[in-house]
Chain A
Amino acid sequence: MRIPFLRGFWKLTWLEAKIFTREPMGFVGTLVMPVVVFIILGRALGASKPVATPTIDLPFNPAILAAILIALSAVQSLVAIISIYREGGILKRLRSTPLSPVTIMGAQVVVKLVFTVLSLSLLVLAGRRLFPGVMQVNVFSFTAAVLLGTFSILSLGFVLASLVPTARFAQPIGAIVLYPMLALSGLFYPLDRFPRALRELAYLFPTTHAVALLNGVWDGSGWAAHLVNVAALLALFVAYTALSTRVFRWE
């Protein structure tokens, strides 16, 4: 059955995935770097010593940091690709074919989510090998939480991609938004220690809810205890997607 609306979707997705792997810097950077960060931090913070329980006595959880870094690098990569495509007239050229806008953007999202899963798999494999006893988390639940978080953060990525004037600005503007998001996410300092205004700002960022959900998955309290965060991730996805459809520029 052919759905005209999504004509060419899988072909474009497959193509974009292949093209992504042909760019060694971007490919290695997004796939491997977060895992490297995880290993270095994990070793430095002494997580390699076998511990009896999965709770680690560390200032923060390096696995969750790495997972968030994976999500953020997916967003960085999305913003860079879209701004390069726009600057080169690639978006415009694709748009004047029967490809629908949803297909053109959806293909990028699927590619980013697939590579997020791959990177996460590397993370889990590395964790299981190097820090035995620590990675006793439900991998599927953890992966699902990371994917949901990434999905929601990607919608913010589309808003950023609309604001980026040229490809040269993709990296700095991405960083200006993404690093504070990470700092405010509650991963390093508990949210309740923030002033109220900052805390409320933090709730507008998907990373905050993604960290809360991942913490919940990690400490065993599970999805049920974090339905608020799940709902927030979905609501932010809807809000940012709606915003980006209004402000998005194809050229």
Chain B
Amino acid sequence: MIPVISVSNLGKSYGRTVAVDDVSLEVFEGEIFGLIGPNGAGKTTTMECVEGNRVPDKGKISVLGLDPRRDANALRQRIGVQHQEAHLQKRIKVWEAVDLWRSLYPRVVDTDSLLAGLGLESKRNAWFMTLSGGQKQRLFIALALIHEPEVVFLDELTTGLDPQARRAIWGLVTGIRARGTTVFLTTHLMEEAERLCDRVAIIEHGRLIEVGTPDDLVQKHCPERTVVFSSDDVNVAERLQGLGVVERAEGSAATYTIRGAGDDFVTAVINIIAREGIRVRGFRTEIPTLEDVFLKLTGHGIRD
């Protein structure tokens, strides 16, 4: 498969600060690819170099077969961008922004249905400054999609939004993929990456430390599984001997925690519980997330 975006050995410094040290990655057609990492890890710089909005110090970048710097004008017709913490003129109306953007591209989508799809039709005459955070981001998505781009770049799309607005935006992003458009996004929210991305690359100190699907990364780095169940049966710990059960009494019932690893662990525990005929009142499993992978690989939390 030929990648839509290919980056090799990208580097970029600001004075003595190395923003991107050495980044190589590939993004394929129709996928949502997420660059994840803490603030200052080099996410935005990498993305802006790929968009052609920043000049790298070293490395090769190809987007849709074009060089982002040399073919900047041709590329701008084929990609859509949304910048981190972007704004428009305070007193520009929604329809005016859409109208300006429409006039810049030879081929555009039907903007009425685009705005309706993004839930902005009632805001057509509103000034930008009066929009909520979620509405602003939806407008930026509309502006990024107006010319039917083949690749869309979304930088920290949901930062600062409340949970409802964030979920609404997630729905829109999966909708972009459903149109066949490739999405390259950055986020520092692991839950967002896990929900949206087909593949993620973890970046820290300007270097990629791991690339893969969220599931594969969890599988590879955090295979631990935990089963927690409660039971009012007797001698549960003895009947599950050898599994390393930790018992904690709570009134009439007790809670049992069993730790293990691997995909088959939970199934194995369920089989033993069934075989022993233990009466189970509550049951849950704890499976590590991308956040756990991140903690393990970087040695610190994402919100540091």
Per a CB cutoff under 8 Å, which of B83, B91, B103 touches A19?
A: B91
B252 nearest CB across to chain A (Å): 60
Q: Is A99 an interface residue (CB 8 A)?
A: yes
In the complex formed, the residue of A with least CB distance to B87 is A88
In the complex formed, the residue of A with least CB distance to B127 is A22
Residues of A contacting B83 in the complex (Cβ-Cβ under 8 angstroms): 89, 92-93, 96
Establish whether residues B77 and A98, one from each chain, have CB atoms under 8 Å apart when the complex forms. Answer: yes
Q: Is A95 an interface residue (CB 8 A)?
A: yes
Q: Is A90 an interface residue (CB 8 A)?
A: yes
User: Interface code B36-55, partner A: CB below 8 Å = 1, 0 otherwise?
Assistant: 00000000000000010100
A contacts with B: majority SS: helix
Q: Is A11 an interface residue (CB 8 A)?
A: yes
Residues of B contacting A95 in the complex (Cβ-Cβ under 8 angstroms): 53
Q: How far is the CA of A180 from the CA of B143 in the complex (A)?
A: 44
Per a CB cutoff under 8 Å, which of A8, A15, A89, A96 touches B92?
A: A15
A87 nearest CB across to chain B (Å): 9
Q: Number of residues in A with C-beta < 8 Å to the partner?
A: 22
Establish whether residues B85 and A8, one from each chain, have CB atoms under 8 Å apart when the complex forms. Answer: no
Q: Is B66 an interface residue (CB 8 A)?
A: no
Establish whether residues A97 and B101, one from each chain, have CB atoms under 8 Å apart when the complex forms. Answer: yes
Residues of B contacting A22 in the complex (Cβ-Cβ under 8 angstroms): 91, 127
Residues of A contacting B101 in the complex (Cβ-Cβ under 8 angstroms): 97
Q: How far is the CA of A93 from the CA of B153 in the complex (A)?
A: 13
In the complex formed, the residue of A with least CB distance to B89 is A19
Q: How far is the CA of A22 from the CA of B130 in the complex (A)?
A: 14
Q: Is A169 an interface residue (CB 8 A)?
A: no
Q: Is B263 an interface residue (CB 8 A)?
A: no
Establish whether residues B100 and A8, one from each chain, have CB atoms under 8 Å apart when the complex forms. Answer: yes
B82-99, CB < 8 A from A: 83, 85-92, 96, 99
Residues of A contacting B105 in the complex (Cβ-Cβ under 8 angstroms): 98
Per a CB cutoff under 8 Å, which of B88, B96, B99, B104 touches A90?
A: B88
Q: How far is the CA of A99 from the CA of B73 in the complex (A)?
A: 10
In the complex formed, the residue of B with least CB distance to A22 is B91
Establish whether residues B86 and A97, one from each chain, have CB atoms under 8 Å apart when the complex forms. Answer: no
Establish whether residues A89 and B85, one from each chain, have CB atoms under 8 Å apart when the complex forms. Answer: yes
Per a CB cutoff under 8 Å, which of A23, A93, A98, A99 touches B91?
A: A23
Q: How far is the CA of A4 from the CA of B74 in the complex (A)?
A: 12
Q: Is B259 an interface residue (CB 8 A)?
A: no
Known: A93-B83, A96-B81, A96-B83. A8 touches B96 (CB 8 A): no
Q: Is A85 an interface residue (CB 8 A)?
A: yes
Establish whether residues B76 and A19, one from each chain, have CB atoms under 8 Å apart when the complex forms. Answer: no
Residues of B contacting A7 in the complex (Cβ-Cβ under 8 angstroms): 103-104
Q: How far is the CA of A135 from the CA of B56 in the complex (A)?
A: 59
A1-57, CB < 8 A from B: 4, 7-8, 11-12, 15-16, 18-19, 22-23
Residues of B contacting A18 in the complex (Cβ-Cβ under 8 angstroms): 96
Establish whether residues A93 and B86, one from each chain, have CB atoms under 8 Å apart when the complex forms. Answer: yes
- Provide 5 A-B residue pairs closer than 8 Å at the C-beta atoms, listed in order of the A residue: A19-B91, A88-B86, A93-B83, A97-B101, A98-B105
Q: Which 6 A-B pairs rank lowest in CB-CB distance, beginning with the nearest?
A: A88-B87, A22-B91, A89-B86, A98-B104, A93-B86, A19-B91
Given contacts A90-B88, A92-B86, list 11 more A-B pairs with CB under 8 A.
A11-B103, A12-B100, A15-B92, A15-B96, A16-B89, A22-B91, A22-B127, A85-B89, A95-B53, A97-B76, A98-B105
